[in-house]
Structure 1
Amino acid sequence: MMETILDRPRIGLLPVVRAAQAALAQGRGFSLVRLGDGEGAMLSHDAPHMGEDIAFCLNIWFGDQAIDGDDRRAMARGLERAMREADVLGLPRRAQLQVSMRYHEVFANLGRVLGARHPVVGDMALHFYLQWSGALGALVRDARRLVLIGCRDVAGQFGAHFDVPVVQWLLRGEARFPGIVAEPHWPIGYARMMARIGGVGPGDLVLVGAGVLGKAYVAGAARRGAVALDMGSVFDGWAGIISRDGRIGTGAEFSIPHLAQGGPADEAMRERLRAYLAGTNIADGAI
């Protein structure tokens, strides 16, 4: 399955945006779930050869909190259900397979998790392109309500730039950048958030930045008729936190005012987006 999906043409940003807009207008659920190296580790959490990798990821997410095998299995079940239910599955590019074995594990597990289902696939960096292109701003304006699930307090910024009701549900972030919530994300915060998600519905746009556990929030919101997008570390960019070296910055293209303006910051950014917007195959990293 790895070669088949790696070589399959991936949809670009524009089809994703149009599908999300249609779902908002029609009151249908829609989900974008992205899979990176951390998800690869979680999918193979019980494989002997992945022991060091899963320990590395758990330390990033939860610090020195004790996470046992039952915890990992429960997290993996939520992730796998989100993968099976996703309308668009964002996958790593071929070039990323050279970076870490954890990216390989994403593809190694797809057949087991998805079975006969052939998902619509895009790039795992779709969250960046939704932000950089400004296209996310159009979705916010189309929403009945904006629901933010993450560890960054950015509701005020969205409220200042968009005429849309904004609800924010905060969680504890990863160990290096935990944010203002002291309550552990797993299992207490997770259980509370899954219960809260029962309150979303058709016409809601739900943006999630909550690590590997956030995939279950995306799926849960979509099941209730919301449009739910896995925005990941873009939340950090909105809050001015550089949590991903070389990928998250503090420039205008990572700001909420940029979304309100509705377009790329400059011609160089437009050039970088053109191939993606055209829906070309970006499996080899051509963006």
Structure 2
Amino acid sequence: MAFERLDLAISLFPNNSEFLLQKITALLKISWFEEAQNVVKTGKLRFPQDHKIALTEATIYQKQKNYHDAQKILEQANLDYPDNIEIKLELADNHLQLGELAATGQILETIKHRSGSKLSKQFNKSYLTFLVRAHKIDELKQYLQEIQSTQYQFDETFISNYCQLLASHGYYQDAYQFLTDFSLRNSGNSVKVDQTKIHCLFELEKITNLEKLSNVDPKTPLDTWVREANQSLQARLKTYLSDHSNFDSNNRFVKKKIDKLNYLYNTCKLSYLNTYTSPFDAYELTVKILDHIKNKIPLSLIRLGDGEGTFLDYDETFKDFQERDRDVAKKCWWGDVNLSGYDCKNLSDNLKISIKNADILGIPEYYLFFIFLSSNSIEKQLLEKNNGGGCRGLTAIINTLIDPKFYQEQDSYQLSHQTLTSCYIHQDLEVWGLYRLILNHLTECSVISCHEGISEVLMEKYGVTVKRLYQIPSESNYSQLFNYKDQENYHHYPYYFQKISSELTVSYPGEVFLVAAGFLGKIYCNSIKNLGGIALDVGSIVDYWLNYSTRWIHRRIPDKNYYSNFAKLINNDIRLNRL
């Protein structure tokens, strides 16, 4: 319907390029790159003097991570429009994506001295990102002082990256001061302010734990560090909710979710929910995985996101939305596949069995629910057909896990036998650098993924050979981004799912599988465990390893991970010495 309206506007206003540009933007949001390119061709013919057409064409290539072709377009545009600051900034950003720091700096320094450039939000974002990537801490501090009077609003990605840069160089107090000053400066009642303050709260906790890690006493039991990190985060969250009554309904929603998460935290055998802010949680979970690998004990680690939640039981209040939410998730994963009532029940039943049989269960945790405070009204959003699906899906996960009926369906299942962690554990292990600790103990593994290139990446990055690759179609949402033409004949579900389920083989007890297969990956993990293998649901981090940024949270992964920060811990951990 949106495209029909845009096409109508384009036909009614043939001399206005704005509607063409809006259509290209809409196509890029759903990764329809070929269609977007066709609209660009039309735009070039109709509006040969409009520089925005060139910028949009470059964006199409950038969205596909093809920065080299984008560079050619931007360099030509820079020649055609030598005084256009917007093109120069885009060219600088593209240089940065290619790792060409010198070229980026040269362009930005030229722009910086032009009158008024410091008041440009786009320039500030580009320049600050460059200074972080170039590790120019002194220049960063100076420029932050220069723009302080402009009330420039830093985005969450910059806040994270700047503080992580300071911490990586041991400037913990500077990071504390920046976060504290920024929170105080941004006082007020707007939703945006609250979102930023929430982010600063979690970043303060992260920096606190990083400083503790740098001074860790090997004699102190690790569970003490885990417990203290959780207590510290809980205290911050409680204080925040007490101090911010501006959004009472939102706070009530989040408080209920925190109470349920705390119930799960205290019920499970082990809980490492705070892997975003606590390196100790992530490390202890890593040691647990290594214990299974060393002793060849079957294991299933799966993660549950909002899509999986649509196949669990919804509250009666939201039942009318479930079919629609499920359809959105299904189209994202598998494209235009028709699911019968039997399909939905079968997939739901298999998911529940996989949840109950999982040894490590990744669920939505504190940080994810606090992000929803950025909404004007969560309760209102939950009742919106198009915008509430994510929150409804995440809510269904938590409600399912605390529902006594869920346990009664399978007598042998006990939540107290499981280990809980974050549904973002696959990303957090990358941030903390702990995949290296896991994969250093392997010479080979098998993989379920759409990426044939994963074999080369695992060998180059970790020295691990892929014993067998079960190749699946890419997630439908990213089919044009990856452009794996040979996978387009059949959908992942049901064709490849049935094929892989029948072919899946564990060659020896304790064989490790890295599984990046979305919803169906949870079921594969369960099958691998039942066959005697060790299954790790690594999800979209495989995209990141192959230089595809398919998730917003990939932007928060630092250029340099924290693996070296764990050296003292690793060297003194007698559990690892036994592995």
Smaller-chain TM-score range? 0.7 to 0.9
Counterpart mapping for 1:74-85 below 5 A: 74-85=346-357
Cα gap change, 1:79 to 1:238, in 2 (>3 Å): same
Matched, 1:164 2:164: no
* Structure (1 or 2) with the larger CA radius of gyration: 2
Preserved CA contact (<8 Å) 2:261 2:365: no
Is residue 2:475 matched to residue 1:174?
A: yes
- After TM superposition, the score normalised by the length of structure 2 is 0.42
| Structure ranking higher on relative contact order (CA contacts 8 Å, 6+ apart) | 1
- Corresponding position of 1:282: none
User: Superposition pairs for residues 55-204 of structure 1, below 5 Å?
Assistant: 55-97=327-369, 98=372, 100-110=391-401, 111=403, 112-115=405-408, 117-118=414-415, 119-143=418-442, 145-153=444-452, 154-166=454-466, 167-178=468-479, 179=482, 180=484, 181-182=487-488, 183-204=490-511
Aligned residues of 1:194 and 1:217 also touching (Cα < 8 A): yes
2:525 to 214, 218, 226: 218
- Of 275, 286, 299, 1:30 maps to 299
TM alignment of 1:223-262, pairs within 5 A: 223-244=530-551, 246-249=552-555, 253=559
Amino acid at match of 1:152: H
Q: Give 1 or 2: higher helix fraction.
A: 2
Q: Do 2:260 and 2:398's aligned partners in 1 also have CA atoms closer than 8 Å?
A: no
**Pair 1:62–1:199, CA change in 2 (3 A):** same
1:264 to 552, 556, 562: 562
Q: Deviations over 1:147-188 (max 9, x none)?
A: 111112211111234333313211012212134222310111
Q: Which amino acid aligns with 1:74?
A: N
Using the alignment, how far apart are the partners of 1:251 and 1:90 within structure 2? 19
> Which contiguous aligned blocks of 4+ residues in structure 1 show a shift greater than 3 angstroms?
1-7, 44-49, 94-99, 112-116, 161-164, 249-253
Separation in structure 1 between the aligned mates of residue 352 and residue 307 of structure 2, nearest angstrom: 13
Query: Which is strand-richer, 1 or 2?
Result: 1
| Structure 2 stretches lacking a partner, 5+ long | 1-255, 273-280, 373-389, 570-579
> Which amino acid letter does the alignment assign opposite residue 292 of structure 2?
A
Letter in 2 for 1:234: I
For the 8 Å contact 2:514–2:538, the answer to whether it is kept is: yes
CA spacing shift, 1:95–1:17, aligned 2, 3 Å = closer
Q: Indicate how the Cα distance of structure 1 residues 113 and 213 shifts in structure 2: closer, same or farther if over 3 A, else same.
A: farther
Measured in 2, the distance between the counterparts of 1:106 and 1:96 equals 13
Q: Is residue 206 from structure 1 mapped to residue 505 from structure 2 by the alignment? A: no
| CA distance, structure 1, for counterparts of residue 345 and residue 562 of structure 2 | 41
Does the residue aligned with 2:307 lie in a helix, a strand or coil?
A: helix
- CA displacement at 1:107 relative to structure 2: 1.4
Query: Take 2:414 and 2:345, find their aligned partners in 1: how far apart are those partners?
Result: 22
Within 1, Cα distance between the matches of 2:322 and 2:562? 39
1:158–1:94 distance in 2 versus 1, CA, 3 Å: closer
1:4 Cα deviation (Å)? Answer: 4.2
2:478 alignment partner, SS class = coil
Preserved contact between residue 147 and residue 168 of structure 1 (Cα < 8 Å):
yes
